[in-house]
Chains A and B, each alone.
Chain A
Amino acid sequence: MDLIIRGGRIIDPGHFDGEADLYIKDGKVAALKPGGEEGGDEKTVRVLDARGKIVTPGLIDLHVHLREPGEEYKETIASGCQAAVAGGFAAVCAMPNTHPPNDCAQVTEFILEKASDAGAARVYPVGAISPGLAGNGLAPLHELHAAGAVAFSDDGRPVASSLLMRRALEYAQGTGGPIISHCEDPALSAGGAMNEGQTATQLGLAGIPNAAEAVMVQRDIALAALTGGKLHIAHVSTREAVEAIRIAKAQGLAVTAEATPHHFTLTDEAVRGYDPNTKMSPPLRTAEDRDAVRQGLADGTIDAIASDHAPHSSIEKVAAFDQAANGIIGLETSLALALGLVHAGVISLPRLVELMAVHPAAIIGVACGLQTGMPADITIIDPDSEHTVAAERFRSKSRNTPFDGQDLKGRAVATIVGGRVVFELSA
């Protein structure tokens, strides 16, 4: 054996939940045996003690901005992958809004090569929907898919043309990859700095209404119904969107959705100090919206938790609120915030594993699980580990998080990718 993970509670939703030892050989799961047996052999290389811990299939973050190529001062593929494994993620989906954007095979191949060099988390590139993310044509989705793209998105640049979105949902069917939609009506959100509502009014900041998201979610669902295409809705932030997705799912449409930790944790009240680290797109909404997102995570309306990890340097973030860039980093706080939902009784641990591993894998069509023969991508979680978020110790190159200094409970203690221990929390 190359590695034995001993005595943890193994949660492999739909397959196994209980205390057991996990045996790993040649990068794959070799066996899962009830705890206590003195398995292994003289050639066993390593044993990880997972007693009191949770052992799950490697977590996957569907929505990460790695910034390379083009903005390496914010993040590199290497630093982002390190941040990922430190946060318990064995794999991340890299959004295409880099410079140049990931709209052709060469960029996809570059990303995969850098990720392989980094040797930490797996990277699943997301290809652009339109060349240059310009929204006026279809990118070569087959070429991108053949190079390794698992999904397509113009994230950050909402697809304003309904016709282009229709065609993308149709055309992508030939590849099997979903269209990931950043649902925002740019005409409704233009000029807005935060959620439209009484807080924005008091703060004197221009607002972005819930409808900016809701109309696009409704539009894209209608287009998914028309085309039969696979639609994944990114970072759901409003109660209207949650409800629309709930109805779409009841109708049997191929619609999935994700929500971010900041949208299920914070509200627009957090903006009161004008901290640019509370500025993101979509913006933090009201408590009612946050609760609707939590409900959606609990009842299956929302399939996945994704961080929308968006690194920015002080150049973009140390600025007046309305001038600052959108986005916060999330890879190294996402799991702890999701465990917050478990501690609050909103979701169960197995549900968390579905939201952060099983469903993300299904959405992008990759293997996930701890059955014999599967790739040994594994996260070991201590759900009760109390710690204070210290942004200055992040592996990410950026520090733009609103959670710095907060006390959180639960985090990853080890991350294993393809049988290799790529992260271990130092005691």
Chain B
Amino acid sequence: MGGMRHKHILDMASLSTADIRTILDTAERMKEISRRPIKKVPTLRGRTVVHFFYEPSTRTKSSFDIAAKRLSADSLSFSKATSAVVKGETLLDTVQNIEAMQPDVIVIRHASAGAPHFLTRHCQACVINAGDGMHAHPTQALLDMMTVREKKGRLQGLNILIVGDITHSRVARSNIVGFQKMGARVTVCGPPTMMPIGIEKMGARVAPSLDDAIGGADVIMMLRIQKERQKSFLMPDEREYATVYGLNLDRLQAASPDVVIMHPGPMNRGVEIDPEVADGPFSVILEQVTNGVAVRMALLYLVLGGK
């Protein structure tokens, strides 16, 4: 198995299909570590990983934290609330301060698209994007691809349906790019108010209605809908959203018998996904969380030169 020439993981667009395959294969090996009674290997002993979370995220941060610890790296967290950021320090100041502590990897979550790219210009450490604004969430896309590959045995030729607020979703963007690289077809569906102009140019087909799109999907990925979208007139209310774009058992009747249901979490049960679907036999939502740790272990390992 070859290594990876990338020092940074910024988005799916900059990864080759060979890179993606390497990451997914490595993640499968890493997953095995998490099944051991002693879930720790010394691989990254003496390395320092900084989790710089400018935007709150318990899940992704915990996932990275566990990944670093299972590889024996020293990790520490910088969050907006605990750092000097709140005192008016600029992003550059904060980055320079983190850099002065000489970390090996900086994992960054930031509300601004391109913030991880900014980091790469101002520090020596490897940078892993844990979500930047509406732009990219490559580790989520990779764990999604890992989960689908596990379930389906392949990615090539699959039909992936992504449903929800495509405009505001970095998960959707990264999955549109990533799955297509691996030979899958991606269809997006959502209220026309949440469908960004030019999404077809990214290769995604836009489905006019969820009911039309469900039948042909091998994988259905439901995105979290934010109630605040009501204020910017993007949707009437959660009730109508659930009626038109929510995944419920009724709608699922039209799906293929081996469909896989995914959600990046956290879920709004009863809005974009009904509890019976989220907890039902087609759901792989908790496996996504398990695979998230494995993918992040693989990325930490690979950016630091592992093979």
Contact = CB atoms under 8 A, between A and B. Distances in A.
A163 B232 contact: yes
A167 B193 contact: yes
A174 B209 contact: yes
Interface string B225-253: 00000111111110110011000000000
A140 B192 contact: no
Contacts of B237: 140
Contacts of A168: 233
Q: Report the contact-size class of chain B (Cβ under 8 Å from the partner).
A: 10 to 19
B230 A170 contact: no
A394 interface: no
B215 interface: no
A142 B243 contact: yes
Contacts of A138: 193, 230, 233-236
B233 A174 contact: no
A171 B243 contact: no
Contact of B233 (A137, A140, A143): A137
B103 interface: no
B3 interface: no
Contact of B234 (A141, A142, A167, A173): A167
B244 A142 contact: yes
A150 interface: no
B216 interface: no
Contacts of B232: 163, 167
A227 B208 CA distance: 15
A139 B233 CA distance: 9
Contacts of A160: none
B191 A143 contact: no
Given A138-B233, A167-B233, A174 B239 contact: no
B227 to A, nearest CB: 12
Contact of A171 (B192, B209, B231, B239): B192
B236 A174 contact: no
Contacts of A143: 236, 240, 243
Interface in A38-68: none
Given A140-B236, A142-B240, A142-B243, A171 B191 contact: yes
Contacts of A161: 233
A171 B244 contact: no
A105 to B, nearest CB: 10
Contacts of A131: 236
Given A171-B191, A171-B192, A140 B239 contact: yes
Dominant secondary structure at the B interface = loop
A174 B244 contact: yes
A422 interface: no
A164 interface: yes
A226 to B, nearest CB: 8
Contacts of B191: 170-171, 174
B193 A170 contact: yes
Interface string A157-169: 0000101101110
A164 B209 contact: no
A171 B230 contact: no
Given A174-B209, A174-B244, A141 B192 contact: no
Contacts of A137: 230-231, 233, 236
Interface in A213-269: 227
Contacts of A173: 192
A174 B192 contact: yes
Interface in B183-238: 191-193, 195, 208-209, 230-237
Contacts of B234: 138, 167, 171
Contact of A140 (B195, B208, B240): B240
A133 to B, nearest CB: 14
A167 B236 CA distance: 10
Contacts of B192: 170-171, 173-174, 227
Contacts of B193: 138, 167, 170-171
Given A171-B193, A174-B244, A141 B233 contact: no
Residue of A131, A141, A171 contacting most chain B CB atoms (<10 Å): A171
Interface in A128-156: 131, 137-143
A181 B231 CA distance: 21
A163 B233 contact: yes
Contacts of A174: 191-192, 208-209, 244
A310 B232 CA distance: 32
A49 B258 CA distance: 65
B236 A139 contact: yes
A84 B68 CA distance: 75
A173 B195 CA distance: 12
A62 B234 CA distance: 27
A141 B209 CA distance: 15
A171 B243 CA distance: 14
Interface in A163-214: 163-164, 166-168, 170-171, 173-174
Contacts of B233: 137-138, 161, 163-164, 166-168
Contacts of B240: 140-143
Contacts of B235: 138, 171
Contacts of A163: 232-233
Given A138-B234, A174-B208, 6 more contacts: A137-B231, A138-B235, A141-B236, A141-B240, A164-B233, A174-B244
Interface of A: 131, 137-143, 161, 163-164, 166-168, 170-171, 173-174, 227
14 contacts: A137-B233, A138-B233, A138-B234, A138-B236, A140-B236, A140-B239, A142-B240, A142-B243, A163-B232, A163-B233, A170-B192, A171-B236, A173-B192, A174-B244
